Structure formats: structure tokens, C-alpha cells
Structure 1
Amino acid sequence: MSKPVPPVLVTALTKPPRPQRAFAWVPAGWRTEMDDLPEVQAMLDDLPGRVDRGLIRQRVLEELDEGRVLSAFVGAMVWGYGDRGYGPVRVRWVLTGVKQGAHAASVRGDVPGLLSDAVEVVRADGAVEGFRFMANAGRVKYLASAFFTKWLYFASALDGPDDPRAAPILDKQVHDWLKEHAGVTLDISRTHEYRRYLDVLTSWGDQFARTPVQVEQVIFGLATGRG
């Protein structure tokens, strides 16, 4: 039996859906850490000073359509890390596979392919299989599920930000909110737990004619203030 919808979420879901508010990001660190990647630099230069989920989704899909997987990934991470200053350094760890000396290290040769393969899997086989791939055969060093679900979301939201087939984000903020307000405790690193999370979102969304990612977006907003 699914958990009941928490009252605060009921209140939010009975209101008309609205897009996420834009927030300011800090370009300097991203430009510094990506200074050897011209296509990524071009994408960063093209972003406005304030971004939101819908805008980043559009840019990620455009970059993927042009075969620029690294710039698409970095764009997703700009949104994912928000205004946290350590985001660019941690994304550099992901791209290079090292922490010490990451700025001077080259991008690992397998990273673009693994990220591209994840896009193919999530689009062809759905959110759970996309998660399974990135947690196992398609694992990218230093890219944990809190952030690879952000990549999966932007790569799979093909029919709009609320696409019913898109992979919902599951990070610490969403996890902690669910634990506190709904009594739902998840191990966010495990595929079967992600499936359980998706089932909860689907059940709750069905009661309000919302897609799983719409429910996730509302929870994310309640948890972070970036609603």
C-alpha cells in the first residue's frame, strides 16, 4: 500500500502547476574548471545569468541533439549544483576521474561514451533502467545517484519538463523531505529503492493528475526553496 500524500504536499498539488523560479548561478568557477573544453565554454557563455529547470532542459537537449554530450552534462550540473561554489570542482572530478590535480587532468576517454549510453538507456527503457545502468555497468567515477538522476531527468524529459516518462530526480534534499514528511526512507544509491520512489511518485501523482516528475518538482521546491 502506498504511503498517504503528506498534507503539505496535498496543498501544493491542488494548486495549478507552475514552472520553477529562476535562480542566479556563478559562471566564474565553471569557466575556470572547463577552460580546456571549448564547446562547454560556448554553452556556458550562452547561458543567461538566471536559469531554471525548463531553460536548462532546453539547452541540454539542444546540446545532445548536436552531439555535444559534455556541454549537455555540464549544463545539467550547473542547474544541479545551483549556487554552491564547489560544483565546478566536483564536476571536474567526474570528467577526469581524479580529485588531486583534476584541473590539469584530461577528460577521461570513457566518460562521454558512458554519459551518452545512459541517455540511450533511459530514453529506450525508462527511468528505472537508466538508474540501474548508471549505478552499475555505466557507473562514472565520482558521479553519485543524487547527480546522475539529474542527468537522467534532463536527458529523458523529451516532451516537456513534465514528461510522464522522464526520470525523476532523487537527491538528498528530496530524500530528507520524504523521510521527514512522509515516513518514506530510501537508500538513494539502490535501483530497487529508486523503483519504489518512482512508484510512490506515480501513486501520489495519479491522485492529482500529475506526472511523477511534477510531484518530484513540487517536493524539490518544498525541500530547497527552488520551487
Structure 2
Amino acid sequence: MTRSTTDLPLPEWLAAKARGASAGDVLGMGVRVNRDWWVAALGDTPFADEVFETDDGRLRRTQLFRLGERATESPEDARRLLWASVAWGTGRRHRLNRARLRSVLGRQDDVSAALQQAAEVSRTDSRAAYRLMRPGRNTVRYLGPPFFTKFLYFAGGGSPAHPCLVLDSLVAKALRQDCGWNGLTGRYVWSADEYAAYCDLLTRWADELNEDGGDPVRPDQLEYAMFDHGRHS
């Protein structure tokens, strides 16, 4: 039986896991990346000046948030956040990254404008931001929801009230198998309505946890807890 997300209760295991990792642990999470690969790949394009910085070979959420703060200021800033978000998602593996880069090159003005607009809209409307990144098909070819929701999330600059969160296959697996959302469709692609419902759900669950006192819990702590759970289940 399919349940509406409006009445899904917060699972006890998720509440405990989210409280077990502080906001600092989640925000400081780093992914090892190969910055030299990006220097070379972008160096052959008009985007050579858009390579992101790393911290001892790692990209951390806090670094991406700093890029996200500026993502609405120019097409260049929006693209810089895109490259960093893709790097954070792929790590030292670069499967499809050249194809993604070619997709942006092929429609540079249109894609860059869409990215900048999506970054702006992500701060107020998760559903509309998702639709900008996937208006029927993905705005950037080979960049589906598991990756472009990272871009939408980081565009919030780290604000705990930011309405967009990361949704990938591992989070979706945890939602279906262990959180009661058995009607969630797809493994890698979801509708804009499902994405908005997911973001609203985690915001509600975080609010419920915070009613109990203790250290404040952010919605992205719940996202990270589900990602980790999905990875090990």
C-alpha cells in the first residue's frame, strides 16, 4: 500500500542516525577528487578559468557552499558550481564527465542561463528548480537528478532553510525500503513533484526532531544518514 509523504512517520533508526552525526561532521564531509583532470579537461574549452579549488585533494561540502553562494551572480559562477558538483559526485572516476562537458559546450548560452536561473530559484522553490534542470529532458545531457540535485543543494550556500536537497539512488533506496515511501518511483529519475515531496518530508522530519530539544538537526543530516544507510544495506 502506497502512503502519502504527508503522514510518513520519522523512522526511529533514522532519527538516531541523524543525531549520531553532527552538522559539522556532515558539512565537513570530503570527497577525494582529481583536480588535475578538471584543469586539463576545462583547459581545452572557454571554461579554463572555472576550475574549483580543493583542500588537500578533497572537495568538502563547505567549499561547495561557498561556490553556491555566488552561483547566481554570473554564468561563469553557475558553471563553476556545476563542475565542482559533478566532481564531488564522481570523485576520481570521470565516466560521462567529458560528455557532460560537451553538452554544456554545445549549448553554452542556453545551458549557462538555465543553470544561473536554477541556482536562483533553488532558494525558494524546489519543484520549479528541478523543472528548470529537467524540463522534459535533462538540461545538461548525461546529468540526471542524482547529479543536478547536488547542484541545486549547494546553490543554497549552506543555509539550513534551503529548500533543495540531494536525492540519489541510495537515498531513494532507503526511502523505499526502510522509511515507508514504497510509492517512490524510479531509481535514478523522479518527477518534480516527487522531488518537492522529498524535500518537504526531510524538512518536516528535521522540525520534529528539533521539537525534542538537543543539538539542532538540519534536513541535510537526514539526507546524509539515508545515503550512508543505503550504501551499507
Q: TM class by shorter-chain length? A: 0.7 to 0.9
Contact 2:18 2:222 in 1 (8 A): yes
Kept in 1: contact 2:166–2:223 (CA 8 A): yes
Q: Residue 35 of structure 2 aligns with which residue?
A: 27
Q: Which residue of 2 aligns with 1:11?
A: 16
Q: Counterparts of 1:75-224 in structure 2 under 5 Å?
A: 75-86=84-95, 88-96=97-105, 106=106, 108-123=108-123, 125-136=124-135, 139-142=138-141, 143-155=143-155, 157-158=156-157, 161-185=158-182, 186-187=184-185, 188-209=189-210, 210-224=217-231
TM-score where L is the length of structure 1: 0.78
Residues in 1 aligned to 2:75 and 2:112: alpha-carbon distance in whole angstroms: 10
Q: CA RMSD in A?
A: 2.7
TM-score, normalisation: structure 2 = 0.76
- 1:144 deviates by 1.6
Identical-pair percentage: 23
Q: What is the CA deviation profile of residues 139-179 of structure 1, one whole-angstrom value per residue up to 9, with x for unaligned ones?
A: 51423222221111111x23xx2521241111112111212
Distance in 1 of aligned mates of 2:48 and 2:220: 27
Q: Deviations over 1:100-130 (max 9, x none)?
A: xxxxxx553311111112122223x421221
Please list every run of 5 or more consecutive structure 1 residues that lacks an aligned counterpart in the other structure: 97-105
Give the whole-Å Cα distance in 2 for the aligned partners of 1:162 and 1:218: 18
Distance 1:27 1:224, change over 3 A: farther
Give, as a single letter, the amino acid of the residue that structure 2 aligns with 1:56. L
The aligned amino acid for 2:122 is V
Do the aligned residues in 2 keep the contact of 1:144 with 1:189 (CA within 8 Å)?
Answer: no
Conservation of the 8 A alpha-carbon contact between 2:34 and 2:92: yes
Give SS of 1:195's match. helix
Matched pairs, number: 211
**Shift, 1:213, TM fit:** 2.7
